[in-house]
Chain A
Amino acid sequence: QKEVEQNSGPLSVPEGAIASLNCTYSDRVSQSFFWYRQYSGKSPELIMSIYSNGDKEDGRFTAQLNKASQYVSLLIRDSQPSDSATYLCAVKSNFNKFYFGSGTKLNVKP
């Protein structure tokens, strides 16, 4: 069983729509959760972090965490073509150990 699972996609949404990206994790004691965006050929860049159950909003991005279901998601409102990238879910488990999902490729069509 993988530590962090994501649907590889691609997820295609029209410009202006809401993109919903999902992630599940296996380690119940995980405390910190991160979403990174990675453009092709580039390194990952942090978009959001979330540590408590519920929603956390930052501009067009909303991260949602449900520890009971071991589920974390990222919503992108008013999706733009520039949001087209691979989105990586990361989970911090043991001492300084991070697990990354394989990523979900998002295509936002103009």
Chain B
Amino acid sequence: ETGVTQTPRHLVMGMTNKKSLKCEQHLGHNAMYWYKQSAKKPLELMFVYNFKEQTENNSVPSRFSPECPNSSHLFLHLHTLQPEDSALYLCASSQGAGGQETQYFGPGTRLLVL
């Protein structure tokens, strides 16, 4: 596979469930990101990892827990979500810090919380 992949593509979960979103990049990049995209809102940056270290947490509620075991993989663990967390969750990657990196996005996971 090439580029940035995300699984699952669609997810429906109850408020008491625990699930995980997975992202994998095949571009040799060192930085990975989680974004949330709700209807009619700008992309909201959630987390940034650079060389496996978390460098950004944009005041995201603790019911979202990221994990980055290596530069190619990124997870978003979900637990006790709320209906307002329903959105498209996008993973992206870029070469790394500094310079003029471009972010490349995965196809996203469309999440519905019931």
Contacts and interface: CB of A to CB of B under 8 A. Distances in A.
Interface of A: 2, 4, 31-32, 34, 36, 42-46, 49, 51, 88, 90, 92, 95-103
Which 6 A-B pairs have CB atoms at the shortest separation, nearest pair first?
A100-B43, A43-B105, A102-B42, A43-B108, A32-B100, A100-B42
A32 B104 CA distance: 15
Count chain A CB atoms within 10 A of each CB in B42, B97, B100, B101 and give the residue with the most: B42
B74 interface: no
Contact of A34 (B40, B41, B102): B102
B103 interface: yes
A56 B90 CA distance: 28
Given A88-B43, A102-B40, A96 B48 contact: yes
Interface string B93-114: 0101110111111111000000
B40 A46 contact: no
Interface of B: 31, 33, 40-43, 45, 48, 50, 55-56, 88, 90, 94, 96-98, 100-108
Given A43-B107, A88-B43, A95 B100 contact: no
A103 B42 contact: yes
Contacts of B55: 95-96
26 contacts: A2-B42, A34-B103, A36-B105, A42-B108, A43-B90, A43-B105, A44-B90, A44-B105, A45-B105, A46-B103, A46-B104, A49-B100, A49-B102, A51-B100, A90-B103, A96-B31, A97-B45, A98-B45, A98-B103, A99-B45, A100-B42, A100-B43, A102-B40, A102-B41, A102-B42, A103-B42
Contact of B56 (A36, A46, A96, A103): A96
B106 A92 contact: no
Count chain B CB atoms within 10 A of each CB in A44, A97, A102 and give the residue with the most: A44
A56 B104 CA distance: 20
B45 A4 contact: no
